[in-house]
Amino acid sequence: MTVLGRGGLIKGGVLLPARREEIELQTSDGLTLVGELALPLDREPVATLVTLHPLPTAGGFMDSHIIRKAAARLPAQADLAVLRFNFRGTSSPRGLSEGVFGEGIAEEHDLAAAMRFVAERALPHPWLVGWSFGTEVALKFGLSHAIEGAILLSPPLHRTSAAEVEAWAGSGKRVVAVIPELDTYLRPPEAAERFAAIAEAELVPVIGGKHLWVGEAQTHRVLTEIVARVNPGALPLSDSWL
């Protein structure tokens, strides 16, 4: 990624100023997961994003571009802490998390390890931000954790049962599903049906959006939807670093 100086355009692989720390998470079943915590450079965060990456067996990892760009930009742009990590058995330039892919079941322990880290560091107002497979982990296991809510990017709802979705209804935890119009797996009309059991859920259809959110326009839209829920006072997100 390119470290961006003042006056530069925010796009692609830019890296805005932040305090960045390589971390390790310890799971209750004995694994070490690798990750990174990014914090605002010169102030405390107002909220925390615990990011959950796409399917490892399809190339998802902590550097999947929306998650990487959230960590690169949002500590500076929106005063957010961004925690990202590799699920078990997943490798990235940061390293390899121990274990093997758990089919979205064993990853319950990975999420719990991340939330213990959040508690130990006293990181404020945590939100889960899942993308694709990460949304399944968030929906299946996030309800038992002390979170403000879950932001679901391109949820496929392959591994999440109707009962697991319905359990969020009346929980007091917000559910925001950002649904691409042209998603490969779940498009807005079907998403409305699948999330109907959560009357308070926010469904955000994105015209022209696709599952992988490729391109700066789609990246900006997704990051804006995240910040709109977590720290709306930071909007609009600038396209340059002033």
How much is the average pLDDT of 186-204? 98
Average pLDDT for residues 56-64, to the nearest whole number?
98
pLDDT band at residue 3 using 50, 70 and 90 as cut-offs: low
What's the CATH fold of domain 18-234?
A: Rossmann fold (3.40.50)
| 13 — pLDDT class (breaks 50, 70, 90) | confident
Q: What is the pLDDT of residues 45-55, one digit of tens each?
A: 999 999 999 99
How far apart are alpha carbons 188 and 146 in whole angstroms?
29
pLDDT value at position 7?
Answer: 55
pLDDT at 70: 98
- Give per-residue pLDDT as tens, 116-162: 999 999 999 999 999 999 999 999 999 999 999 999 999 999 999 99
> For the chain, what are the domain ranges?
18-234
